[in-house]
């Protein structure tokens, strides 16, 4: 079998930056906590715990060491709660997410009403909603056309979760405009996300099987799997090489691999090696 990796795959700048900042924080034996998982990759989170960086669910659980704000960012309220505890704060929010937070607040001030295109309940989306509301805006989260209410009208600001697909973004925009809504748009889809989605789709069209590597709790990895599945029915989303099933590759001559923005190189290499051993 010939195994080909997508041109753009694996850990993005924001994720690698967060990992480097976290490891630098404990490089001299210090301890640290992250509010929620630093990134959406269970294996990496477990490795960080072994290095003295454990995940907690709320600021109240941070009692010693540094508090690391994860790559997805936090709400303004949570940030204030962290600072009030008097512990050192390491802000590992992805710069692209920080830009989206500022855009949400600016749109709220300018338009009064903001639509966040994204996945309800995702930590990044919760942050975008909170920044817009703190700036005085009314906020709606819409992940698809059906989430756009018929009664929405007037001038509305639109911001998008950085890891959303271009198709979802354009679907919600079209629904808003079809209802006569005047949209002030801030396109905050991350370039790294677009590159990974486009290169994965291109590769998936050319192979007999497609393997997508990354945390099942990672929205950007899940979207990669969805995109690949549309053009390659033999697509499988895995977290580790041990999940590979030889049956998937029966009669396959071309196998493609891609990985989410929270997937480090060593995890991709392990999958490549395992597939090669099956051929």
Rounded to 10°, the helix 95-111/13-25 angle is 110
Q: Which of 64, 119, 124, 226 is catalytic?
A: 124
Cα dihedral angle (63, 66, 71, 76), rounded to 10 degrees? 60
Give the residue ranges of the chain where pLDDT is below 70: none
Contacts of 41 (CB under 8 A, 6+ apart): 214, 215, 218, 260, 262, 263, 264, 267
- Is the CA virtual torsion 245, 248, 249, 255 positive or negative? negative
Rounded-to-integer distance, Cα 41 and Cα 278, Å: 26
Nearest alpha carbon to residue 137 among 168, 106, 177, 164: 106
Burial of 178 (0-12, 13-18, 19+ CB in 10 A): exposed
Name the residue among 144, 207, 224, 154 with its Cα closest to residue 182. Answer: 154
CA distances from 129 to 18, 121, 132, 140, 232 (A): 22, 10, 5, 8, 35
Q: What's residue 28's pLDDT?
A: 76
The pLDDT value given to residue 151:
84
Residues of the chain with CATH 3.40.1010.20: 2-10+192-278, 96-189
The pTM (predicted TM-score) of the whole model is 0.88
30 annotated binding-site participant: no
pLDDT of residue 219: 87
Has 124 been annotated as catalytic? yes
In the chain, CATH 3.40.50.11270 sits at: 13-94
Please report the pLDDT score of residue 29 as a whole number. Answer: 78
pLDDT tens figures, 206-246: 999 999 999 999 989 999 999 999 999 999 999 999 999 99
Residue 221 annotated in ligand binding: no
The answer on whether 113 is annotated among ligand-binding residues is no
CA pair distance 220, 41, nearest whole angstrom: 11
Residue 72 known to bind ligand: yes
Which fold would CATH assign to domain 2-10+192-278?
Answer: Cobalt-precorrin-4 Transmethylase; domain 1 (3.40.1010)
Q: Is 236 annotated as a binding residue?
A: no
- What CATH number is given for 13-94 in this structure? 3.40.50.11270
3-state secondary structure 125-153: HHHHHHHHHHCCCEEEEECCHHHCCCCCC
Q: Which residues contact 26 (CB under 8 A, 6 or more apart)?
A: 32, 51, 52, 53
Structure tokens at 12: 């993005």
Q: Measuring CA to CA, how many Å separate 174 from each of 93, 148, 163, 180, 184?
A: 30, 10, 19, 10, 13
Which pLDDT belongs to residue 150?
86
Say which residue the tokens 């994965």 belong to. Answer: 200
Q: What pLDDT, on the 0 to 100 scale, is given for residue 245?
A: 97
In this structure, whether the domain defined by 96-189 belongs to CATH 3.40.1010.20 is answered with: yes
pLDDT at 43: 94
Q: Is 220 annotated as a binding residue?
A: yes
96 in a known ligand binding site:
no
């Amino acid at each position: 079998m010939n195994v080909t990796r997508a041109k753009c795959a694996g850990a993005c700048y924001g994720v690698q930056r967060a990992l480097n900042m976290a490891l630098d924080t404990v490089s001299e034996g210090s301890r640290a906590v992250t509010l929620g998982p630093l990134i959406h990759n269970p294996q990496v989170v477990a490795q960080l715990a072994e290095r003295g960086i454990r995940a907690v669910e709320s600021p109240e659980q941070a009692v010693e060491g540094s508090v690391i704000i994860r790559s997805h960012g936090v709400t303004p309220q949570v940030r204030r709660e962290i600072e009030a505890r008097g512990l050192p704060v390491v802000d590992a929010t992805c710069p692209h997410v920080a830009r989206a937070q500022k855009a949400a607040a600016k749109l709220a001030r300018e338009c009064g009403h903001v639509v966040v295109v994204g996945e309800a309940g995702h930590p990044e989306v919760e942050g975008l909603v909170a920044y817009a509301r703190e700036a005085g805006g009314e906020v709606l989260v819409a992940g698809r056309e059906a989430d756009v209410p018929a009664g929405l009208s007037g001038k509305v600001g639109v911001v998008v979760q950085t890891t959303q697909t271009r198709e979802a973004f354009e679907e919600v925009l079209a629904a808003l405009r079809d209802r006569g809504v005047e949209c002030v748009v801030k396109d905050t889809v991350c370039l790294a996300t677009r590159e990974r989605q486009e290169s994965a789709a291109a590769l998936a069209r050319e192979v007999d099987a497609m393997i997508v590597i990354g945390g099942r709790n990672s929205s950007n990895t899940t979207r990669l799997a969805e995109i690949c599945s549309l053009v390659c029915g033999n697509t499988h989303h895995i977290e580790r090489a041990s999940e590979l099933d030889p049956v998937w590759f029966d009669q396959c001559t071309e196998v493609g691999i891609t990985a989410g923005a929270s997937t480090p190189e060593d995890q991709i290499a392990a999958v490549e090696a395992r597939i090669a051993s099956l051929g």
